[in-house]
A and B are shown apart, each in its own frame.
Chain A
Amino acid sequence: MHIVVCMKQVPRDNSVKINNDLSINAEGIEQIMNLFDEYAMEEALQWNEKLGGKVTVLSLGPDEWKEQIRRALAMGATDALLLNDPSYANLDVLGAAKVVADAIKKLGDVDLVLAGRNSTDDESGAFGPALARALGWPQLTYVGKFLEVNDGAKKMVVERHLEEQVETVETSLPAVATVVKDINEPRYPSLLRIKKVAKVEIPTWGAADVGAASSAASVAGRVPPPPRPKGEIVDGADAAEKVRKLVDKLMENQVI
């Protein structure tokens, strides 16, 4: 069984500061593994322990992302692949999915691709579905539980944790699945493995290695969202009055 985990390195959300001119202050930004991808990695490692085979951590990003790739290797991933090329610098989600799909096709023997439901920086949640489309494989989003992954019969059964229901779905493999938070408890990188992976060369493919991929669009610029409007404190003589006023306001705004 060969499981590929798509991993994105993202800034820790509270470490990012915006400059006065609305640009991002690069100082003090702490890079971490995208939270949801960490759950995907743990899930892959657990199934790998049961089924054997390989777990490849795959990232599309600059050289600095090797830091989190090494972290994934220290968690237990058996293989790694970084896709890095100057032409990838401003890819949008669709473009990135196409490149990753080409790389996965080139790997050849992949049975299952896991990714987080979204990244905590861009939060589009579109990468998994776009990747499945580009590969022409079934896509299972918002997976909250893998009930069965059957290497021999090339099928799996999962629970999709949707807003109002849990859907049990069976699919053939290969397939692409994105996972939700708390599907498992991700392990910590092992110090024993760090020793082995700290200096290991991370295989890197450029555009020429992956093959041609064209992007529909690229990211032109980023601006922070407008500040949230100020809150309002409901005041009153005592708790009863405050609650009454609060309920009035909630009804006024048709919240209740």
Chain B
Amino acid sequence: MQFDLSDEQQMFRQAVREFAAKEIAPNARHIDETGEFPTETFRKMGELGLMGIPFPEEYGGAGGDTVSAAVAIEEVARACGSTALAYAAHMGLGSAPIFMFGTEEQKQRFLKPAAAGKYIAAFGLTEPHAGSDAGATRTTARLEGNEWVLNGAKMWITNAPIAGHIIFTAVTDASKGKNGISAIIVPGGTPGLSFGKHEPKMGLRGSVSTAIMLEDVRVPRENLLGDPGRGFNQFLKVLDGGRIGIGAMAIGLAQAAFEAASAYAKDRTAFGKPIGAFESISNMIADMATGIAAARLMIYQAAWLKDQGRPFSQQAAMAKLFASEVAEKTCRDAIQVFGGYGYSQEYPVERLYRDQRLLTIGEGTSEILRVVIGRHILGGFVGN
């Protein structure tokens, strides 16, 4: 049993923490207030090698592992949720599928620039009528000569209008149901792609999530990602990995709220002593620390299983479910520790609370994750 991060993983953490403290955290409030995407931050992240941590160097990555990527997302989230979401979506959803299922040519053409931080990547799965029920995808792709022609609409696609490429799921064979869904890579700026407005959201306002309209979007036949008709299975695998990223993001946000609340509990006095001296406050701090510690172990374990090449789907689902719920409770309690100040925008905890709220929804709602976990344990009959 080994619970320490390796020297390399610790150096990754230290480097990302340092960068995040100086370059990301000071900007967090501004991008929350304005919804401005932190383009300059991402340029610098690319220079450092942050944008492709888990991918090999020959594909523009940093040659790290899933644990390092999770640690990096956690540290970025500790500084700024909006930046972390764009980052996690870029790496786990926009880039990972090409590494997992792409041809050598696709890796050179799409993964390399994404991993090296030349551009940000996105993954277009959710549709207005198909969120958790992704098998109900309506977007279509038909082959015309040597081109795929895509038509349809996507919804809530993180990084959509700024992405250098978007991987779309689309029905390529309507007669085969779920097995007729494929994934196709579409470079940003391809004619026929248009984007909805920047959705006003409760939190994570600096990350750009929009609707996408696809009208006769034409890409070469070789942009099909992986086996035709395997799109559905592929994105289930992608989501398994993405959940580790979202769980890591939850830990980062929770950690930030916990640190703010602990510092405030020592500093703020009431009835002649620091409020942390009252058990009702110290109990909340203790629960925060306990929840975060457990969630972190679960996320790192899921990441580690993935790095070992072992099945991790159930662990990733459990870890994301647990971490996102810990984050919600922790950020809620952090506001409670701050009292009235916690509700004001003067302190970061209200932002953290709004930011974490997505995490029990995105990349598998808590409800769907319980279904996933239940099926792993009890078999396929549950919910079918």
A residues contacting B by CB (< 8 A) are 70-71, 74, 188-192, 194-195, 197-199
User: With A189-B15, A191-B12, A194-B15 given, is the CB distance from A199 to B64 under 8 Å?
Assistant: no
B18 & A191 in contact (Cβ 8 Å cutoff): no
Interface centre among A74, A192, A198, A199 (most CB of B within 10 A): A192
The CB with the most chain B CB atoms within 10 A, among A74, A191, A194, is that of A191
Smallest CB gap from B62: residue in A: A191
> Is the Cβ of A191 less than 8 Å from the Cβ of B53?
yes
Q: A74-B11, A74-B15, A195-B63 are in contact. Are A188 and B6 (CB under 8 A)?
A: no
B144 within 8 A of A: no
Could you list which residues of chain B lie within 8 angstroms of chain A, going by C-beta atoms? 6-8, 11-12, 14-16, 18-19, 47-50, 53, 57, 62-64
* Residue contact A188 to B15, C-beta cutoff 8 Å: yes
B11 x A190 contact (CB < 8 A): no
Smallest CB–CB gap between A82 and chain B, Å? 16
Do B57 and A191 touch (CB < 8 A)? no
Dominant secondary structure at the A interface: helix
Least CB distance from A256 to B in Å reads: 36
The B interface is mostly helix, strand or loop, or mixed, namely: helix
Is the pair B15, A195 in contact by a Cβ cutoff of 8 Å? Answer: no
- Chain A: minimal CB distance from B4 (Å): 13
In whole angstroms, how far apart are the Cα atoms of A188 and B15 in the complex? 7
Q: Which residues of A contact B11 (CB under 8 A)?
A: 70-71, 74, 189, 194, 197-198
By a CB distance below 8 angstroms, the chain B residues around A189 are 11, 14-15, 18, 48
Of A70, A191, A198, which contacts B50 at CB under 8 A? A191
Q: In angstroms, how far is the closest chain B Cβ from the Cβ of A193?
A: 8
Q: Decide if B7 touches A191 in the complex (CB within 8 Å).
A: no
Asked if B49 and A192 make an inter-chain contact with CB atoms under 8 angstroms apart, the answer reads yes
Chain B residues, CB < 8 A from A197: 11
Q: A71: which B residues are within 8 A, CB to CB? A: 11, 14-15
Contacts of B14 in A (CB 8 A): 71, 189
B8 touches which of A188, A190, A198 (Cβ 8 Å): A198
Q: Is the CB of A198 within 8 A of B7?
A: yes
Measured in the bound complex, the distance between the Cα atoms of B57 and A189 in whole Å is 17
Residue of A nearest to B116 (CB): A192
The 10 lowest CB-CB distance pairs between A and B, nearest first, are: A198-B8, A191-B49, A192-B49, A191-B62, A194-B11, A189-B15, A198-B7, A195-B63, A188-B19, A198-B11
- Nearest B-chain residue to A192, judged by Cβ: B49
C-alpha gap A189/B48 in the complex (Å): 7
C-alpha spacing A191/B69, complex, angstroms: 11
Provide the residues of chain A in CB contact with B62, threshold 8 Å.
191-192, 194-195
Assuming the A-B contacts A195-B63, A198-B7, are A188 and B12 also in contact, with contact meaning beta carbons closer than 8 angstroms in the complex?
Answer: no
Q: Please give 5 more A-B residue pairs, beta carbons under 8 A apart, in addition to A190-B47, A191-B50, A192-B57.
A: A189-B18, A194-B8, A194-B12, A194-B15, A194-B62
For A195, what are the chain B residues with a Cβ–Cβ distance below 8 Å? 8, 57, 62-64
A-B pairs with beta carbons under 8 Å apart, 9 shown: A71-B15, A189-B14, A189-B18, A191-B48, A191-B53, A191-B62, A192-B62, A194-B11, A197-B11
| CB closest chain-B residue, reference A32 | B18
On chain A, the residues within 8 Å of B18 by CB distance are 188-189
Rounded to whole angstroms, the CA-CA distance of A198 and B7 in the bound complex is: 6
In the bound complex, residues from chain B placing their C-beta under 8 Å from that of A199 are 7-8
Contacts of A194 in B (CB 8 A): 8, 11-12, 15, 62
**Taking each of B16, B19, B48, which has the highest tally of chain A beta carbons within 10 Å of its own beta carbon?**
B48
A198 touches B48 (CB 8 A): no
Q: Contact check, B15 vs A191: say whether CB atoms are below 8 A apart.
A: yes
Docked CA distance A197–B8 (Å)? 8
Residue numbers in A under 8 Å from B16 (CB-CB): 191
Q: How far is the CB of A247 from chain B (nearest CB, A)?
A: 34
Shortest CB-to-CB span from B224 to chain A, Å, is 31
Chain B: minimal CB distance from A49 (Å): 15
Chain A residue with the shortest CB-CB distance to B8 = A198
Contacts of A190 in B (CB 8 A): 15, 47-49
CB distance from B59 to the nearest CB of A (A): 13
- Residue among A188, A190, A198 having the largest count of chain B Cβ atoms under 10 Å: A188
Bound-state CA distance A191–B8 (Å) is 9
Query: In the complex, what residues of A have CB within 8 A of residue B50's CB?
Result: 191
Contact status B48-A188, CB under 8 Å = yes
- Residues of A contacting B19 with CB < 8 Å? 188
Q: Give the CA-CA distance A71 to B62 in the complex, in Å.
A: 16
B198 to chain A, nearest CB (A): 30
Asked whether, in the complex, the Cβ of B64 is within 8 Å of the Cβ of A191, the reply is yes
Nearest CB on B from A184, distance (A): 15
In Å, the complex CA distance between A30 and B52 comes to 28
Name which residue of chain A comes closest to B15, CB basis: A189
CA distance A192 to B62 in the complex (A): 5
Task: Give complex CA distance A191, B53 in Å.
Answer: 8
Contacts of A191 in B (CB 8 A): 12, 15-16, 48-50, 53, 62, 64
Cα(A70)–Cα(B10), bound, Å: 12
A143 to chain B, nearest CB (A): 24
Q: How far is the CA of A71 from the CA of B53 in the complex (A)?
A: 18
Which among A70, A197, A198 has the greatest number of chain B C-beta atoms within 10 A?
A198
For the complex, what is the distance from the CA of A210 to the CA of B175, rounded to whole Å?
78
Q: Which residues of B contact A198 (CB under 8 A)?
A: 6-8, 11
Q: Report the Cα distance A199→B53, complex, angstroms.
A: 18
Name the distance in Å between B214's Cβ and chain A's nearest Cβ: 35
Per the bound structure, the CA–CA distance linking A194 and B7 in Å amounts to 9
